[in-house]
């Protein structure tokens, strides 16, 4: 185990990715706020997608105290497009708990960090190892793949136990990031670059010639498909937006009004009576647990006919609509421009 950890650190010292939330190999530990913010954003999201969001967030909310004081709607709008919106709600809840109960300071151990809202085993381990030097196991998708291949392991508990045993007392944060980088750049899901892997000689799956068989995944269940309507209600150069319920899908986000999403949606679920005109093509979107065809219905109405937030259409880009509703709005705007062109 020590030999593998030493080889990984030696490789990391030469090949570490330069990322805005990291300290260089062997350097002083980074600010735990930066580690936490980056790790939450990186859940189910690529480094390339996270970088611009991270930099904008840090410029706008440079400390946990600043984030705790953020307006809910403002933060959700800033998160728009990054997906998995419960992360943003948990981020805000955690920041407020840290300020209210810990004086804005992060606890230094994984066990204490796990008690905070939205922080699970992986994030707690990452903050504890990278920011505080605790030899905590850090197992994300990349690390799971590396460890499962190294030891030809076929179940998550065994992978986690071996990852913990592999973590050295010295430089545990650099070790965790070395494992992440190895999985992201060399020990990739398909066609891993085993020829340049620093621990190839220790890899059981490589010795057996079955690298791509690990980690072993259960067969995926079929994803259900749903249908629904989004409503573009326009009045005097404004469009009606609503705030979705705090709990549930896209909770707390601004959105176009919708009806229920299911097998047989109906225009009868429209938020107000109007002569709705259905656009010919729906928006197709895939969530984690289901796929959706969202048809867009448009109408011109009076502003006193519905409750909600009437947003200036020319400033709609500032509303922070999540990707699904941004797609729907773009369809409606394209149709709107076509109508204007015909009228001219």
Residue-wise pLDDT for 306-315, tens only, equals: 788 999 999 9
Instruction: Say if CB 35 and CB 126 are below 8 A apart.
Output: yes
Question: How far, in Å, CA of 99 to CA of 297, rounded?
Answer: 44
88 pLDDT higher than 60: yes
pTM score of the predicted model: 0.81
Instruction: Say if CB 324 and CB 296 are below 8 A apart.
Output: no
Listed in sequence order, the residues at least 6 apart from 216 whose beta carbon sits closer than 8 Å to its beta carbon are 148, 154, 155
Residue-wise pLDDT for 114-138, tens only, equals: 999 999 999 999 999 999 999 999 9
pLDDT band of 343, cuts 50, 70, 90? very low
Residue 234, sorted as left (phi over 0), alpha (psi -120 to 50) or beta, turns out to be beta
17 pLDDT higher than 80: yes
Radius of gyration of the chain (CA): 24
pLDDT band of 259, cuts 50, 70, 90? confident
168 pLDDT higher than 70: yes
Question: How far, in Å, CA of 22 to CA of 12, rounded?
Answer: 13
* 39 among known catalytic residues: yes
Average model confidence (pLDDT) for the chain? 92
Question: How far, in Å, CA of 27 to CA of 97, rounded?
Answer: 29
Listed in sequence order, the residues at least 6 apart from 273 whose beta carbon sits closer than 8 Å to its beta carbon are 305
pLDDT band of 342, cuts 50, 70, 90? very low
Residue-wise pLDDT for 172-211, tens only, equals: 999 999 999 999 999 999 999 999 999 999 999 999 999 9
pLDDT at residue 339 in the model: 62
- Domains by residue range for the chain, with CATH: 2-213 (1.10.340.30), 225-343 (3.90.79.10)
Question: How far, in Å, CA of 143 to CA of 192, rounded?
Answer: 14
pLDDT at residue 269 in the model: 79
Query: 125: exposed, middle or buried (C-beta count within 10 Å: 0-12, 13-18, 19+)?
Result: buried
Listed in sequence order, the residues at least 6 apart from 278 whose beta carbon sits closer than 8 Å to its beta carbon are 267, 295, 296, 297
Listed in sequence order, the residues at least 6 apart from 307 whose beta carbon sits closer than 8 Å to its beta carbon are none
pLDDT at residue 344 in the model: 28
The pLDDT > 90 percentage for the chain reads 78
Paired tokens of 62: 């440079």
305 pLDDT higher than 60: yes
Contacts by 94-97, CB closer than 8 A, 24 or more apart = 94/36, 94/118, 94/119, 95/64, 95/67, 95/68, 95/70, 96/68
């Amino acid at each position: 185990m020590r030999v593998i950890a030493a080889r990984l650190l030696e490789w990391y010292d030469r090949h570490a990715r330069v990322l805005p939330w990291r300290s260089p190999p062997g350097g002083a530990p980074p600010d735990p706020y930066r580690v936490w913010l980056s790790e939450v954003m990186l859940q189910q999201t690529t480094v390339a997608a996270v970088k611009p969001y991270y930099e904008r967030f840090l410029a706008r909310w440079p400390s946990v105290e600043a984030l705790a004081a953020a307006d809910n709607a403002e933060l959700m709008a800033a998160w728009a497009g990054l997906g998995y919106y419960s992360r943003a709600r948990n981020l805000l809840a955690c920041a407020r708990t840290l300020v209210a109960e810990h004086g804005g300071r992060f606890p230094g151990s994984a066990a204490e960090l796990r008690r905070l809202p939205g922080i699970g085993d992986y994030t707690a381990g990452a903050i504890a190892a990278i920011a505080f030097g605790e030899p905590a196991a850090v197992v994300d998708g990349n690390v799971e793949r590396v460890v499962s291949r190294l030891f030809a392991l076929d179940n998550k508990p065994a992978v986690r136990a071996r990852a913990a045993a592999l973590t050295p007392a010295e430089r545990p944060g650099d070790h965790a990031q070395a494992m992440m980088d190895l999985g992201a750049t060399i020990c990739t899901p398909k066609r891993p670059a085993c020829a340049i892997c620093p621990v190839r000689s220790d890899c059981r799956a490589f010795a057996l010639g079955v690298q791509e068989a690990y980690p072993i995944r259960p067969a995926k269940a079929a994803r259900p498909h749903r249908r629904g309507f989004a409503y573009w209600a326009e009045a005097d150069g404004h469009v009606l937006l609503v705030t979705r319920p705090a709990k549930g899908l896209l909770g707390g986000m601004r959105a176009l009004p919708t009806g229920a999403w299911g097998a047989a949606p109906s225009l009868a679920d429209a938020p107000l009576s109007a002569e709705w005109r259905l656009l010919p093509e729906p928006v197709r979107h895939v969530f984690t647990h289901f796929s959706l065809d969202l048809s867009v219905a448009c109408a011109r109405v009076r502003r006193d006919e519905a409750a909600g937030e009437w947003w200036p259409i020319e400033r709609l880009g500032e509303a922070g609509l999540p990707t699904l509703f941004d797609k729907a709005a773009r369809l409606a705007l394209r149709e709107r421009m076509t109508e204007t062109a015909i009228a001219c």
